[in-house]
Amino acid sequence: MSYPDARYLADEGEVSAVYRSSGQAAELTLGAGGTKVSYLATGATTDGQFGLYRWDMSGRPTGPSPHFHRTISESFYILSGTMRLFNGDKWIEATQGDFLYVPPGGVHAFANESGKPASMLVHFSPGAPREAYFEELAEIAETGRRLTSEEWAELYLRHDQYMV
């Protein structure tokens, strides 16, 4: 394994860092459980290199069913509480400091079923526009809109989400 080809070719560095304060409000509240999703770094802010979100989940049970992605890898790092992580074979009770990497095609899921708050970082690479997917899910939950199975299939296809 070696370093990739250079992407920055100027002789001098530049001021281009993006800072986000810990006090900044979450960009999205998702579902009845009130999960707060903070967009720490989107594909747009990282020039498509990666995305990084913080998920702060209440104690209400929530999380997606097992699924996989064809175009992105996804990683989960538990900051606090207990999350159930599915590695494609079994559910794991993950706690602070635990980490799960899922390559493209890897079946995975996560859930907070602990009855207590839990927080985790979700990282994906490359930096696909996942926030559009989560925002659409939030809108569906907030409005109570009912999707047909064909509409769900189209939504999942648009966002590289393949349910198992």
* Concatenated DSSP letters of the chain: --PPPPS---SS---------TTSPPSEEETTTTEEEEEEE-TTTTTTS-EEEEEEE-SS-B-PPSEE-SS-EEEEEEEESEEEEE-SS-EEEEETT-EEEE-TT--BEEEB-SSS-EEEEEEEES---HHHHHHHHHHHHHHTPPPPHHHHHHHHHHTT-EE-
pLDDT for 31: 83
Work out the percent of the chain whose per-residue pLDDT is above 70.
100
pLDDT band at 150 (very low <50, low <70, confident <90, very high): very high
Q: Which domains, from first to last, does the chain contain?
A: 28-163 (2.60.120.10)
Give the model confidence (pLDDT) of 76-116 as tens digits. 999 999 999 999 999 999 999 999 999 999 999 999 999 99
Instruction: Look up the pTM and report it.
Output: 0.93
